Amino acid sequence: MSLRPVPHVHDVMIHVVIGTKAQLVKMGPVMAELESRGLQWNFVFTGQHHETVRDLRENFNVRDPDIVLHEGRDIKSVPAMAVWMAGILTKALLRRPDPFRGDHNGIVLVHGDTFSCLLGAVLARTRGLRVGHVESGLRSFNLFHPFPEELTRVLTFRLTNVYFCPGAWAMENLRNHRGLKVDTVHNTLLDSLRLAVERMDSAEVPVPSRKYCVVSLHRFENIFDRHSLERVVSQVERIAESIPVLFILHPPTKSRLRRFDMMQRLKSNPRIQLRPRYDYFGFIKLVWNSEFLVTDGGSNQEECFYMGKPCLLLRKATERQEGLDRNVVLSRYETAVIDRFLNEYRNLAFDFSDFNVSPAKMIVDSLSENV
């Protein structure tokens, strides 16, 4: 656990606790807004992910963390996350330094459905601080799918005082929870995507001259065991028969492909090109110029909805509503659904929608009024 000295620490009232790349992408606009308004805020980085995080901070012009709770390798598996979380809680609760710098009156912002989200909420409540949950109210209503995300959400709801909900559906899901609910209309990802679209030309990412699709898979339920990984790899191979594939190698996916001896299988397919994971601007540039995206990520689903990009979800269910029955197709791993998408995806595309709102500004407005 390490920290960087910050002046006037006892004046810090807004604490941002994040630890993954996806959280940084979605909270980047919020942190940038806090900075631009000159508000006192404290950046606590849990260290769940380290790889490419610096590049992402540069994308959104986010300063270095004030406190880092874990300095080590990325935490990739659920068992490793449980051990990691227990270790950080023990250190933070029983030893110095204090992640919240002696503040007993502020609010701690956590995001989404990761272990870092739950960790931040638990640490906040044990110190008597309020919890603000960004991207709150999303539900699949199945505790085991997606796992552990749905369970993490439900536990975080119980610790939250201020819920920042990306739309009316999310607000309704929290009707039985006490606390202030703020409808941000859309996800903060809209702010992130807006910035990425403006600046993606600066990203040095090779874009194929011919038509292609992007595949981005990393969820626990798709890569954890051999059977699940075999299923999605076979479906990617089927897609590649129709259109060349750029396959993004997320570290957990890369590890599992190697463990189950499927990496060479992808490498040897001339219709599949393996690509490293890029920073946010680089990834958006690839997706923007693609025919469609194949993914298991909820954030990717939202991005495709805002971009009007056809999207095929390799999942059984999704807790996101954005784009469903419009440009996003939930495959449920059914071959007939995948084939129909490949034949009809061109009819699903529409122009980029800006929506003329800033969820990040709405969040900071609310914090300014209520903290």
Provide CB contacts within 8 A for 87, sequence distance 6+. Answer: none
Which of the two residues, 103 and 344, has the higher pLDDT score? 344
The pLDDT tens digits for 215-226 are 999 998 999 999
- Round the average pLDDT of the chain to a whole number and report it: 90
Average pLDDT of 242-254?
96
Q: What's the Cα-to-Cα distance from 60 to each of 24, 88, 241, rounded to whole Å?
A: 9, 27, 37
Query: What integer pLDDT is reported at residue 74 of this predicted model?
Result: 66
The C-alpha atoms of residue 340 and residue 348 are separated, in whole angstroms, by 12
pLDDT digits (tens, 9 = 90+) for 5-61: 443 434 548 999 998 888 999 999 999 999 999 999 999 998 876 665 777 778 888
At CB < 8 A and 24+ separation, what contacts does 84-87 make?
A: 84/48, 84/115, 85/115, 85/118, 85/119
HEC assignment per residue over the chain = CEECCCCCHHHCCEEEEECCHHHHHHHHHHHHHHHHCCCCEEEEECCCCCCCHHHHHHHCCCCCCCEECCCCCCCCCHHHHHHHHHHHHHHHHHCCCCCCCCCCCCEEEEECCCHHHHHHHHHHHHCCCEEEEECCCCCCCCCCCCCCHHHHHHHHHHHCCEEEECCHHHHHHCCCCCCEEEECCCCCHHHHHHHHHHHHHHCCCCCCCCCCEEEECCCHHHHCCHHHHHHHHHHHHHHHCCCCEEEEECHHHHHHHHHCCCHHHHHCCCCEEEEECCCHHHHHHHHHCCCCEEECCHHHHHHHHHHCCCEEECCCCCCCCCCECCCEEECCCCHHHHHHHHHHHHHHCCCCCCCCCCHHHHHHHHHHHHC
**pLDDT score of 211 more than 50:** yes
Predicted local distance difference test score (pLDDT) of residue 50: 60
Q: Which pLDDT score, from 0 to 100, does residue 104 have? A: 86
Query: Cβ distance 245 to 314 under 8 Å?
Result: no
> What does the pLDDT read at residue 4?
46
pLDDT of residue 238: 98
pLDDT digits (tens, 9 = 90+) for 59-94: 888 898 999 887 766 666 667 767 767 777 777 666
Q: Please tell me the predicted confidence (pLDDT) of residue 94.
A: 66
Percent of the chain at pLDDT > 70 equals 91
- Lowest mean pLDDT: which of 137-151, 153-167, 190-204? 137-151
pLDDT digits (tens, 9 = 90+) for 323-370: 998 999 999 999 999 999 999 999 999 998 778 899 999 999 999 887
Q: At what angle do helices 21-36 and 189-199 cross, to 10 degrees?
A: 90
Mean local confidence (pLDDT), 103-131: 93
Q: For residues 119 and 88, is the Cβ–Cβ distance under 8 A?
A: yes
- Would the pLDDT of 322 be above 80? yes
Delineate the domains of the chain, giving CATH numbers in brackets. 2-191+357-370 (3.40.50.2000), 206-277+290-348 (3.40.50.2000)
